[in-house]
Structure 1
Amino acid sequence: MERISSWFENYSDDIYHYLVYYTGRKDVEDLVQEVFIKAMKGIDGYKGSSSPKTWLISIARNTAITEIRKQKVLRFVPFAEGIEIKDERKINPEIISEEKETYASLLRAISKLRKPYRDVILLRKISELNVEETAAVLGWKVEKVNLTLHRALKALEKELSTKNGGDHFEESLG
């Protein structure tokens, strides 16, 4: 129980953000809770061969897939409302508005990609998992992760360039 509590403190924000991106919904608190309940019930199945974050994201992914199937919502719908841009510098409404639009454009472009491309971009670029962790979550070989990420980024770049000239591509994904 103490282990799960520690993981919750360390990784709940990561799981929350992953689920928001994966489901396209902002109200994923119940899913986050469900992930940690499943982790608590299945803690004996955690062998330590991957990081706790990787294991939890695998659970989160499966939980999200199950939830989407339950709701029969088989499309990925990005959101833009309610996005908080955290900036330690002076808050400038114009900059915040521009960053929200860039973020919304990026999400719209990601949502138009094939599912494997979306998955690998979300895990590698948004959740910042390494190649091995991404392979473990998706059940792929490392080579497939690298190849799919390369193709996904090319497809994303193409999608963004058709919408806005690709101006924000590099800065958006980091």
Structure 2
Amino acid sequence: MSHNEIVADWFERYGNDIYHFLIYRVGPNEAEDLLQEVFIKALKGFHGFKKDSSPKTWLFTIARNLAIDESRKRMSKKRADTVPLDITNEPKTDTSPETILDFNEDTKQIYECIQLLKPKYQEVIILRGIKELSVQETASILKWSESKVKSTHHRAKKALQEELRRCFPYEEKRASRSAR
């Protein structure tokens, strides 16, 4: 099997998972382009792939690095473009109204709250909680120890719960009323 065929097979197996990771990390508008970049980098760097890790963790590592680069580009562009500080409490997302309508309401709320978390919390929530990767796979992708993955995931879940309560207090009130 040629390396082109192998990478094409990886795309079939892992493309959706990586795409969903990128949606949560950079938003739907950039996710598709970055997904293509992930597999272009995989093709170009195929001979550098070490067989000691799984292709899935290697591809997620590429996706993570591209997402970090994209976030840095956004931040530097924001600093260059904006002088006043944004002091609103509205969630910041880079999604179009059409895309938001495609998400169901629960997914939209979770997506918006995840975007408010620290980047390391976002990554561990997406990899462990949403993509359901193992602690070992997550540690390999993030280049963390397994204990750091566990403790950061625990803290990230608490932070996400707080964001959900803060952003959507109506849901909490409604849930407590229905429990009576």
TM class by smaller structure: 0.7 to 0.9
3-state SS of the aligned residue for 1:6? helix
The yes-or-no answer on 1:81 pairing with 2:100 is yes
Q: Report how far residue 138 of structure 1 moved.
A: 0.9
3-state SS of the aligned residue for 1:117? helix
4+ residue segments displaced more than 4 Å? 73-76
Match of 1:160 in 2: 164
Q: Report how far residue 166 of structure 1 moved.
A: 8.4
Separation of aligned partners in 2, 1:18 and 1:61: 9
- Deviations along 1:89-138, whole A, 9 cap, x unmatched? xxxxxxxxxxx111111112212212211110011112221111111111
Match of 1:44 in 2: 47
Distance 1:114 1:67, change over 3 A: closer
The yes-or-no answer on 1:142 pairing with 2:142 is no
Identity %: 46
Q: Report how far residue 161 of structure 1 moved.
A: 2.3
The answer as to whether partners of 1:109 and 1:160 remain within 8 angstroms in 2 is yes
Distance 1:166 1:44, change over 3 A: farther
Tell which structure's C-alpha radius of gyration is larger.
2
Runs of at least 5 residues in structure 2 that lack an aligned partner in the other structure: 79-90, 176-180
Aligned mate of 1:61, from 59, 64, 68: 64
Aligned residues: 153
Q: What's the TM-score once normalised by structure 1's chain length?
A: 0.77
The answer as to whether partners of 1:134 and 1:145 remain within 8 angstroms in 2 is yes
Q: How does 1:1-174 map to 2 (within 5 A)?
A: 1-71=4-74, 72=76, 77=93, 79=95, 81-83=100-102, 100-162=104-166, 163=168, 164-165=171-172
- Deviations along 1:128-169, whole A, 9 cap, x unmatched? 21111111111110000000001111111122223231879x
More helix by percentage: 2
Runs of at least 5 residues in structure 1 that lack an aligned partner in the other structure: 85-99, 169-174
Computed over aligned residues only, the root mean square deviation of the Cα atoms, in angstroms, reads 2.4
Q: Report how far residue 63 of structure 1 moved.
A: 1.3
3-state SS of the aligned residue for 1:47? coil
Separation of aligned partners in 2, 1:46 and 1:167: 50
The answer as to whether partners of 1:117 and 1:148 remain within 8 angstroms in 2 is yes
Q: Report how far residue 28 of structure 1 moved.
A: 2.5
Separation of aligned partners in 2, 1:12 and 1:115: 22
